[in-house]
């Protein structure tokens, strides 16, 4: 896949040939378009899921399994106000923007000025800049800006030392607001949980492991049994039986659907620690 900004005078050139952008304009998403050599590509709508797979990796990113899980557990809905640190490559931020649309907003912070500027440009190109505000700030050292105190529905932390930002995050959240911290190492999780104990409750940590399967049609040697079920033949010479009480017959190379785990399945990415701000009595 490749993210392409369409212009009437531009072309996409790859090993399948030359594709004129002018041939794409006006076609619905999902269309199959041909090159000058007869190769083809599909025109796909730019969604947060696809953007996660093609964006420039300025940092390690969160992928679809973690993103979908944390958006659900943080209870992010249209109209929510979300604080995020750090922005990184903007993979999560794009999905957060869609979740809070059309009336919510995401305020995301990164300590690295150039990284924040690049993320801001990406959000403009993907059309979510009206839902996202990017700030340059060291959240670990300075905390979140006081102007968001008590206004945030959810806070997300992706920091080397998230426990340092926990006190500030607690001040930003509404009563009963939710917090999530993403950490690749279990030692980070332990220290973060210790910091959460004072003002947060319902502390839980998850590791999301996604297993993908390939499904395709193929042929296998099989034989037809009495119940009409197709079974793989044993590793021995097959014999054709005839006679009363036996209906076993050869039906080698019958078409079937094959399913197997993908070889490039992604393993451990990180731990997601969730908690909820304690209500004042």
Q: Do 29 and 43 meet the contact criterion of CB atoms below 8 Å apart?
A: yes
Q: Is residue 90 marked as binding?
A: yes
DSSP state of 163: G
Q: Is residue 91 marked as binding?
A: yes
Q: Do 247 and 201 meet the contact criterion of CB atoms below 8 Å apart?
A: no
Phi, psi angle pair for 73, to nearest 5°: -70, -25
**Helix (H) or strand (E) segment spanning residue 142:** helix 139-142
Task: State both tokens at 237.
Answer: 């010479």
Q: Is residue 221 marked as binding?
A: no
Q: Is residue 264 marked as binding?
A: no
Nearest to 106 by CA among 125, 133, 88: 133
Q: Is residue 138 marked as binding?
A: yes
Q: Do 82 and 100 meet the contact criterion of CB atoms below 8 Å apart?
A: yes
Q: Is residue 92 marked as binding?
A: yes
Separation between Cα atoms, residue 168 and residue 172, nearest integer Å: 7
Q: Is residue 35 marked as binding?
A: no
Greatest extent of the chain over all pairs of C-alpha atoms, in Å = 87
Binding site, annotated residues for S-adenosyl-L-methionine: 89-92, 110, 138, 158
Residues at the binding site are 89-92, 110, 138, 158
């Amino acid at each position: 896949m490749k993210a392409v900004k369409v212009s009437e005078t531009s072309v996409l050139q790859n090993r399948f040939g030359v594709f004129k952008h002018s041939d794409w304009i006006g076609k619905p998403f999902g269309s199959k378009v041909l090159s000058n050599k007869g190769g083809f590509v599909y025109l796909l709508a730019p969604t947060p899921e696809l953007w996660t797979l093609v964006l420039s990796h300025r940092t390690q990113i969160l992928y679809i399994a973690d993103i979908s899980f944390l958006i659900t557990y943080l209870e992010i809905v249209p109209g929510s106000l979300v604080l995020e640190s750090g922005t990184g490559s903007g993979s999560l931020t794009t999905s957060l923007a869609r979740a809070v649309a059309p009336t919510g907003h995401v305020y995301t912070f990164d300590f690295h000025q150039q990284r924040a500027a690049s993320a801001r440009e990406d959000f403009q190109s993907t059309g979510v800049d009206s839902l996202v505000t990017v700030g340059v700030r060291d959240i670990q050292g300075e905390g979140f800006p006081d102007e968001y105190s008590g206004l945030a529905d959810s806070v997300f932390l992706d920091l080397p030392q998230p426990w340092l930002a926990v006190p500030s995050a607690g001040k930003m959240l509404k009563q009963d607001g939710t917090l999530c911290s993403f950490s690749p190492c279990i030692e980070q999780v332990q220290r973060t949980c210790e910091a959460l104990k004072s003002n947060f409750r319902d502390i839980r940590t998850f590791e999301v492991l996604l297993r993908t399967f390939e499904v395709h049609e193929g042929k296998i040697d099989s034989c037809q049994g009495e119940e009409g079920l197709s079974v793989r033949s044993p590793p021995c010479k097959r014999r054709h039986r005839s006679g009363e009480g036996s209906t076993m017959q050869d039906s080698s190379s019958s078409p079937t659907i094959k399913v197997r785990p993908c070889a490039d399945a992604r393993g451990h990415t990180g731990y997601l620690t969730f908690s909820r701000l304690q209500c004042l009595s």
